[in-house]
């Protein structure tokens, strides 16, 4: 029967088009009413033949000048062809005839937005909303939310979606959208109250539970977020986004095993994503299971081969295991994409230093410091590298650069003292030591780490003792 009905509709439309063609050609034709013209206009519109659709609309409006539906259809076509002012004039006429057609307000909104008159669009919809109920009111609220989004009044977007949910708590579109806007506007407390109210009336609404969890997570209330996500999953065991957020909440709570379990469920249920594999790798990293961390970082890298940071993370796992050669290979891969990245250069320099390749270490520490000239950790490692390799003169030049570029950090005074001692310049070394002890006596440990034998010097011990006892203070 459905096929017969479809065939009948098709034959009827064919006949309408034939009679319309006769009308255009000035031939004899049967009577075409308003509905007939609407069907003919829709036919051409669906075929993306806008000129023919506009021509049909013109015929229709000419014959039925008091039919608001035809004027609205013509206005819609004019908007599609960017004749905005003509469309607006037509809509104004249609409004006089019938103010109760929701399409009138939606199309006027489109015109105002196209003319960059967002405030007019908002005012129009605000007035129109009071005229409609149920589904039509909700449709206009969504339109208004889009208008507010367009001119970046984001709190009003949240307000519109809240009104939708007050009227229709299970509206999926509103629930999906308000989750984002709750986070974006930071209105997490209001989000919590709204979704708790929905859950009171509809306890099996998994989206409301999910949004509640996201709002708790926005306030860093991770334990409460976990509970909400678990309710969402209990209702819908295939809710992959709930597992994803659950994994993130567990990760924030440093519950890495639970996080791994939740994130692995995401991989089972959804299309694999690099960020999920990376998060699992991070959890294994924290658990010091470096082999599994690498495995998942590599999975992420296969999905996103341009992300150099994943090669860096793999390298760090090798560094944690003292596998310097493997670490170097991955850092080289990372640096091929981002040659000047300070963290990559620093890590590579550390590897070369551990391998005893002093010159290479110095090159990469220098590259790190070129990007971050005030990096105290970079200067410290460069100076240790030069000192341990007995390049004392180069170390002295670099410590002077470091002091100048880091606003005379006290730590560097101790390093300079150690270098001067190594160069046999004891008097200058003692002066630097004295200055260092005046500024930060606790950092003496750094000097002793560099060269424990300095404690055998009576003059060094005297300076240390004098400042620690307080007699060196002025």
**Residue 377 placed within a domain:** no
Identify the domain boundary among 52, 72, 98: 98
**Residue 140 placed within a domain:** no
What is the domain range of residue 179? 155-236
Rounded Cα gap, residues 102 and 139, in angstroms: 9
Length of the chain: 474
- Residue percentage of the chain with pLDDT more than 90: 60
Give residue-wise pLDDT tens across range 251-291. 999 999 999 999 999 999 999 899 999 999 999 999 999 99
Question: Within 10 A of 202 (CB to CB), how many other CB atoms are there?
Answer: 13
Report whether pLDDT(99) > 90: no
Q: If 0-12 CB within 10 Å is exposed, 13-18 middle and 19+ buried, where does residue 398 land?
A: buried
Report whether pLDDT(441) > 60: yes
Report the interhelical angle of 358-371 vs 342-354 (nearest 10°).
160
Report whether pLDDT(473) > 50: no
Average pLDDT score, the chain: 89
Report whether pLDDT(470) > 70: no
Same-domain status, 2 and 94: yes
**Residue 131 placed within a domain:** no
Give residue-wise pLDDT tens across range 11-65. 777 777 777 777 776 665 566 777 777 787 878 778 777 887 877 777 777 778 7
Q: pLDDT band for 396, please (50, 70, 90 cuts).
A: very high
**Residue 284 placed within a domain:** no
What tokens appear for 271 in the block? 């299309």
Rounded Cα gap, residues 273 and 33, in angstroms: 56
Same-domain status, 159 and 82: no
Report whether pLDDT(5) > 70: no
**Residue 259 placed within a domain:** no
Q: pLDDT band for 131, please (50, 70, 90 cuts).
A: confident
Does the predicted TM-score (pTM) go above 0.85? no
**Residue 283 placed within a domain:** no
Report whether pLDDT(184) > 70: yes
Rounded Cα gap, residues 214 and 202, in angstroms: 18
Q: If 0-12 CB within 10 Å is exposed, 13-18 middle and 19+ buried, where does residue 442 land?
A: exposed
Q: Which of 258, 295, 253, 256 is nearest to 278 (CA)?
A: 295
Yes or no: say if 270 and 243 are a contact pair by the CB < 8 Å rule: no
Report whether pLDDT(118) > 90: no
Q: pLDDT band for 2, please (50, 70, 90 cuts).
A: very low
**Residue 317 placed within a domain:** no
Identify the domain boundary among 236, 269, 303: 236
**Residue 268 placed within a domain:** no
Same-domain status, 75 and 165: no
The structural domain count of the chain equals 3
Report the interhelical angle of 172-185 vs 154-167 (nearest 10°).
150
Report the interhelical angle of 206-218 vs 222-235 (nearest 10°).
170
pLDDT the model gives residue 28: 54
End-to-end CA distance of the chain: 105
Same-domain status, 14 and 84: yes
pLDDT the model gives residue 42: 77
Q: Which of 135, 216, 215 is nearest to 171 (CA)?
A: 135
Identify the domain boundary among 52, 70, 98: 98
Q: pLDDT band for 109, please (50, 70, 90 cuts).
A: confident
> What region does 393 belong to: left with phi over 0, alpha with psi -120 to 50, or beta?
alpha
CATH number (domain holding residue 197): 1.25.40.10
Same-domain status, 93 and 164: no
């Amino acid at each position: 029967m459905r096929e017969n009905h479809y065939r009948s509709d098709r034959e009827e439309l064919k006949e309408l088009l034939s009679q319309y063609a006769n009308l255009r050609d000035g031939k004899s034709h049967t009577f075409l009413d308003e509905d007939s013209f609407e069907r003919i206009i829709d036919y051409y519109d669906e075929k993306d033949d806008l000129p023919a659709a506009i021509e049909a609309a013109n015929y229709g409006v000419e014959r039925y000048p008091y039919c608001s539906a035809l004027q609205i259809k013509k206005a819609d076509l004019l908007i599609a062809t960017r004749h905005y002012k003509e469309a607006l004039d037509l809509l104004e006429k249609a409004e006089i005839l019938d103010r109760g057609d929701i399409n009138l307000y939606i199309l006027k909104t489109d015109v105002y937005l196209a003319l960059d008159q967002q405030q007019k669009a908002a005012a129009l919809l605000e007035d129109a909303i009071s005229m409609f109920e149920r589904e039509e009111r909700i449709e206009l609220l969504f339109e208004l939310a889009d208008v507010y989004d367009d001119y970046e009044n984001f709190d009003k977007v949240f307000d519109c979606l809240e009104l939708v949910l007050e009227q229709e708590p299970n509206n999926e579109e509103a629930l999906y959208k308000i989750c984002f806007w709750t986070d974006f506007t930071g209105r997490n407390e209001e989000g919590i109250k709204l979704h708790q109210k929905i859950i009171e009336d509809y306890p099996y609404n998994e989206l409301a539970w999910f949004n509640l969890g996201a709002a708790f997570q926005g306030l860093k209330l991770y334990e409460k977020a976990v509970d909400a996500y678990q309710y969402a999953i209990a209702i819908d065991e295939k809710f992959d986004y709930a597992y994803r957020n659950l994994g993130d909440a567990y990760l924030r709570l440093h519950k890495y095993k639970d996080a791994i379990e939740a994130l692995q469920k995401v991989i089972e249920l959804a299309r694999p994503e690099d960020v999920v594999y990376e998060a699992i790798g991070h959890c294994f990293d924290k658990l010091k299971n470096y082999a599994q961390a690498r495995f998942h970082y590599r999975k992420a890298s296969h999905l996103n081969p341009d992300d150099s940071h994943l090669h860096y993370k793999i390298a760090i796992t090798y560094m944690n295991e003292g596998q310097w050669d493997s670490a170097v290979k991955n850092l080289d891969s990372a640096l091929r994409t981002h040659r000047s990245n300070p963290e990559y250069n620093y890590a590579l320099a550390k590897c070369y230093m551990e391998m005893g390749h002093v010159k290479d270490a110095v090159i990469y520490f220098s590259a790190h410091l070129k990007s971050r000239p005030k990096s105290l950790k970079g200067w410290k490692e460069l100076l240790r590298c030069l000192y341990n390799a007995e390049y004392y003169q180069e170390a002295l030049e670099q410590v002077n650069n470091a002091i100048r570029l880091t606003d005379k950090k006290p730590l560097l005074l101790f390093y300079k003292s150690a270098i001067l001692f190594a160069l046999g310049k004891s008097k200058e070394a003692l002066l630097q030591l004295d200055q260092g002890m005046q500024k930060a006596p606790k950092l003496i440990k750094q000097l002793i780490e560099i060269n424990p034998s300095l404690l055998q010097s009576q003059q060094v011990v005297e300076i240390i003792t004098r400042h620690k006892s307080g007699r060196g203070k002025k």
